[in-house]
Structure formats: C-alpha cells, structure tokens
Amino acid sequence: MKPTALIHAIVLSFGWRRRLIAFVAGVLSALAMAPINLWPALFLTFPVLIWLIDSAGSGSGRWRRVTGAAIVGWWFGFGYFLAGLYWIGFAFLVDAPTFGWLLPFAVIGLPAGLAIFFGLGAALARLMWMRGSMRILALAAALTVTEWLRGHILTGFPWNALGYALTSPLALAQTASIIGIWGLTFIAVAAFASPATLTDDRSETRIRWLPLALSVAVLTGLGAFGIARLARTPTRFVDKVHLRIMQPNLQQDVRFNYAAKQQVLDRYLALSDRASGPQSLGVRDATHLIWPESAFPFFLTREPDALAQIARLLHGNTVLITGAVRLAEPVNPSDPAAYNSIYVIDRDGSIVSLYDKVHLVPFGEYLPFQHLLERLGLQTLTKQRGGFLAGDRRRPLAVPGAPLALPLICYEIIFPGEVMPPGRRPAWIVNVTNDGWFGISSGPYQHFQQARVRAIEEGLPLVRAANTGISAVVDPLGRIVNSLPLGAEGVMDSLLPQPIGAPIYARVGDVPAAMIVALALLVIVRRRLRPEVVKI
C-alpha cells in the first residue's frame, strides 16, 4: 500500500477500525520510553493521532467532532499506558493468592483511567483546531496541559510523561535543566507530530515540509546544547566522602517475612563488608554505607540485637543510611501505625537523623477511603493495616561526615518540581527504593530514567540504592558514575559527585514551560481571529 493510500485509510476509517488504529499507535508510542528509548517511532505515531483528530466527527456538529477527538485520544492513551505500564501487574503476583484476582483491574483499569487525560487533551486541541500547522501547536499545548494535570490530580501520577521521550541520549535531557519535563513534553508533541503536514493540501500549508524541518532543527539544537553543557561541566567529587551501596536482590516474600529476619540481616552484613577489589578492606573503605528502602522485615528500633549487629559492622567512622519502617509514637498496641522512613545510624548504633516519606503510593502504601475499603476486605500490597502514615513535610537529612542530603523514598522522585524542601539547598539526593515488586521488566528502567531527570532538573547528584536494582551514583548532569544492574546482587563503591549551581528549572520551576504553552495559545488565538482562516 502506498503511503498516501495508507493515510487515506486512516483518515477515512470509522467505528472499531478507527479505535484500533488509535490504540495501535498508542502501543507503538510506548517504544519511546525506557528501556527501549526508540523515540523516532513517535514521528510515525503522532501524525496518525493528528490525522485521526482531523477527521473526528466529520460532517457532524462541533461537539460531535470534539467528542470524536476525545474518543480517539482515549484509545491512543489507553494503548500507550497499557504497553508502558504492564509491569504494574507483577506486584499483584508477589502474593498471588491474596492479590492475584486484582491483577486485571490494575493492568487494565489504571491505563483506562490515565487515558482520560489523553482524551481530554485531544478534545481541547479539537476546540482550537485549524487546517495547517497550527493544529500541531494546538495538540502540543493541549497535551502538555493535560499531562501536567495527570501529574497533579488525585496526588498525581506523572509516570512516562511524554517529555521523557526526549531524555535519551543524555545530551537531549540537558534541556530539562531549563524547562523541565513539562517543557520537554510540549517540544516532544510538537516535533513528533510535525510530519502530519507533509500530506496537507498546499492551500492549507504552503510549505509542507517546513514544520518537520523546524522540528529537526529544534531537536538538533537541544542536542547541541546538551553536548556543550556536558563538555563544559566535568564531574567533580566531594572530598573525604566514600560511598558504598549495597544491593541485596532479595525476593519480596523474604523481605516481608519476619521469620527470615536474621537471614535478611546476615545477608546485608555480609554483602556490605564484601571486598570489592584486591586492595579492598570492605566496609572500612566507606564513610557512608547505603541500604535500600524498607530494608528490614521488622521494626528496627524494636530489635536491639539487630542494632547491635549493625553497630559492629560500622566500626571506624562509617555511617549507615537505610530505609526502614518506623512505628509511630505513641504506639497503639491494638492498631499500630507506621511510617516508611530513612534512618541515619552512626557507629554506636544510634539513630542520629530520620525522614518520613511524604508522598505515599496509592494502593501500595495506603488505600483511598482506607477504613471503608478495609471493611470490604481490601488491603494495601504491603499489608500494613491502616496504611502508612505520611510525613508532615519535606525536610533535608543531616548526614554526619557528608553534605546536607535530600531524602526521597522510591515513588517520591518521579514528581518534577515537588522534591525540594524549603530553606537551605541540599547538596545531593539520596534515593532508597524497592523495585523488586516489578521483577525484570521495563518498570525499574523507567523509574531510574525519571530519577536521573530529577538530578538534571535540580542540579544535584543522585545516589540511589535499590533492592533489586538499578542502584547507581549519578552526577548532577545525569552521567552515571557507577551502577549495579537490575536483578543482580552486589556492592558498589563510589565517590560522591559535587552539585552544580541551581539550574533555571530549580530556581523557577514550571514557569518556562507555562510561558511556552501560553505563547503557543496566543499564536493560535491570533490566527483563529483572522477572517480568512478555516476553522474545522
């Protein structure tokens, strides 16, 4: 089939064929995300979305056209999220007898819900639709707004925001230091949808190749800026800070089994003191040892013997930073409440500082309408009765022998512009996580990709300890200094990179992205006010 015939078939499709085309285009769009990072595929899929919106509700009234665009956008989004978030189902198989029946609801229900934002974006774009290149700006502005809403409504879930398509290779990601992930989302949609004008009538788009040429020029400019930024900003390290990150690769049924508490602790202690080279002295080489999220199948402060064993490990000047579940005080024996926390422990086994997770995972760490759903027999995946309590606020973490740290537990690191505490700027990000829920899938790679972008946006190095991987030390431009792969047991030694001066995004947040969207909307409104412009 010739390209023109294929495009005509897309535009003239109706019914289930139209929905299927949108769904397949969405599925293929997920190839742009980690670990595949095949973002050129979007040059094919986003024009399809444009053409489908072009012909949405053809011959009908305005609101039928808007509704038709919303349906097309929903099916596109459903395919995108179904392919990009399939790995969420793995978490329901960790305890399949208890949670397995919920798997289809999660794997299908979450993408269906998130696709509403794509449907809303397509509908908003259709309200501004015009023939020619202006419809590309309309789609870019509308989807950027609805993607931002997806990242904030109902506590937000900005996972796989479209801007992440422009974060690999690393040079492209550097623009996040100026406009953040939402600015990159606008550029991504506008650039990847630009080939749609190649099939326009010359009366609609006088120079049909110009939008694509401009898009290629913009992407080239982003790459050139990134290459120059990486070249002129070498990685520098903090004096007298030597990190050791322990990745135990424990299965979930062991990590949450109290009967295996000594087995878990023995593994941590042995791995942490493992020699990493011929001249290695084990943990004595490190000033700071880092363990992953919720490391223990018990309340650490209620197990003095465990603290004593940790103190014996930390001889010399080594400090431990570890995830742990913390009992809320005062303790209610009949209904104990807990926090998902980070402890800093010194060589005497004393807890010198702590941080409680602020942004909890819905259904993983708490249930919406918790008491009602628990009465109906539902529970969180972590089986914490009553769910976890949220920390009262973001706060920096004081770490003896190291600069002030920004603690982020797992899911907290995916929220752009929401990670920094008020007051004094920390010098590094410590991110403890457990992606073991999701097995060997694309989920942990996507999580790590988003964590690297936070480092670029904030201009801070990232130190990440993950139970099953990916553990890494990343400099403030997103360069990986050292890492441990997914699904591997091991220990990793590294120096701590120095931060750089706060980038533009760290200082002003989403203001540049908002200005880009506002400018696009101004251009669209001015064009629509011209009497000769055909509005469709």
**For the chain, first and last CA: distance in Å?**
28
Q: Which amino acid, residue 107?
A: V
Q: Which of 147, 357, 457, 458 is catalytic?
A: 357
CA-based nearest residue to 460, from 412, 492, 522, 503: 503
Is-catalytic flag, 412?
no
Residue 186 to residue 452: CA distance in whole angstroms: 20
For the four alpha carbons of 365, 370, 371 and 377, in that order, the dihedral sign comes to: negative
Catalytic, 410? Answer yes
Q: Which two tokens stand for residue 273?
A: 């003191």
∠ CA 415-416-421, nearest 5°, is: 85
Q: Which of 147, 365, 410, 457 is catalytic?
A: 410
- The angle at the Cα of 363, spanning 362 to 368, to the nearest 5 degrees, equals 70
227: closest CA among 172, 188, 181? 172
Is 396:404 a contact under the CB 8 Å cutoff? Answer: yes
The rounded radius of gyration (Å) of the Cα atoms in the chain is 25
Count Cβ atoms below 10 Å from residue 67 Cβ, excluding itself.
17
Neighbours of 113 (CB within 10 A): 15
Separation CA 476–CA 163 (nearest Å): 19
Q: Is 418 in the active site?
A: no
Residues with Cβ within 8 Å of residue 130, at least 6 apart in sequence? 138, 524, 527, 528, 533, 534, 535, 536
Q: Which of 147, 293, 365, 457 is catalytic?
A: 293
The residues assigned a catalytic role are 293, 357, 410
